[in-house]
């Protein structure tokens, strides 16, 4: 991951920080997958499990921040080491927010299916493709962070437009359902909130990939137009 240093303990500290961010990335990926599984299966118990996992995500966030502060104070990293520490620090924030979005989806599952109701199945189907895209993007972003692969990072960034187009298409379909039957409006709002959470997850995954580019190239490509 990094060049070897005279002080092997320094290498160990950098590797441990890397491990923490990968552990956190793996955990939020589980959260997102299980939140979508709960939605598809209308599984309230699984949705509650997703919410409970957020405590572990928060623990890893605090542990990672603590390691970053200690490493900066003790080692004063420079060059690629400093870029790595900055990239990890920013990624911790994005991963925590991804966990929040998974909890939001789980909460909507509980709200939608926690009482006697029969949501329009066609409307719920719109979540599936967006969910698959969000999970794929996040999984690739976590894998990219494992190996610091610039080419794979760019593929995550380039997939962003496809997610944006799918989000807009989902909104148009949901509007059609509401226009056909205004009784659908309550369910439509909940589904919009779910796909918006998935759209945000895709955005955070793109951020993770951009941090990898920053670490490898030393270039901040955020907000650059394609």
Q: What pLDDT shows up at residue 220?
A: 75
Over its C-alpha atoms, the chain yields an Rg (Å, rounded) of: 19
CA 58 – CA 195 distance, rounded (Å):
24
Domain ranges in the chain are 8-217
List Cβ<8 Å contacts ≥24 apart for 118-124. 119/187, 119/190, 120/177, 120/184, 120/187, 122/177, 123/174, 123/177, 123/184, 123/187, 123/188, 123/191, 124/39, 124/191
80-110 pLDDT tens trace: 889 989 999 999 999 999 999 999 999 999 9
Q: What pLDDT shows up at residue 2?
A: 47
**What are the residue ranges in the chain where pLDDT is below 50?**
1-4, 6, 226
178-190 pLDDT tens trace: 888 787 788 888 8
Q: What pLDDT shows up at residue 94?
A: 96
Question: What's the topology of domain 8-217?
Answer: Methane Monooxygenase Hydroxylase; Chain G, domain 1 (1.20.58)
């Amino acid at each position: 991951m990094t060049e070897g240093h005279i002080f092997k303990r320094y290498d160990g500290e950098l590797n441990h920080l890397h491990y923490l961010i990968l552990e956190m990335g793996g955990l939020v990926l589980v959260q997102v997958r299980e939140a979508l599984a709960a939605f598809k299966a209308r599984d309230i118990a699984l949705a509650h499990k997703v919410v409970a996992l957020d405590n572990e995500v928060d623990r890893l966030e605090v542990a990672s921040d603590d390691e970053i502060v200690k490493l900066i104070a003790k080692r004063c990293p420079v060059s690629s080491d400093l870029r790595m520490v900055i990239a990890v620090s920013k990624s911790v924030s994005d991963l925590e927010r991804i966990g929040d979005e998974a909890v939001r989806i789980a909460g909507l599952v509980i709200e939608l299916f926690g009482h006697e109701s029969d949501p329009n199945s066609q409307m719920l189907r719109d979540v599936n493709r967006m969910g698959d895209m969000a999970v794929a993007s996040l999984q690739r972003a976590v894998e990219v962070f494992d190996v610091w692969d610039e080419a794979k990072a760019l593929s995550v960034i380039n997939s962003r437009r496809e997610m944006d187009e799918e989000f807009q298409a989902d909104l148009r379909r949901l509007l059609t359902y509401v226009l056909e039957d205004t009784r659908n409006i309550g369910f439509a709002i909940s589904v919009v909130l779910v796909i918006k959470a998935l759209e945000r997850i895709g955005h955070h995954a793109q951020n993770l990939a951009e941090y990898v580019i920053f670490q490898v190239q030393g270039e901040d490509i955020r907000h650059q137009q394609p």
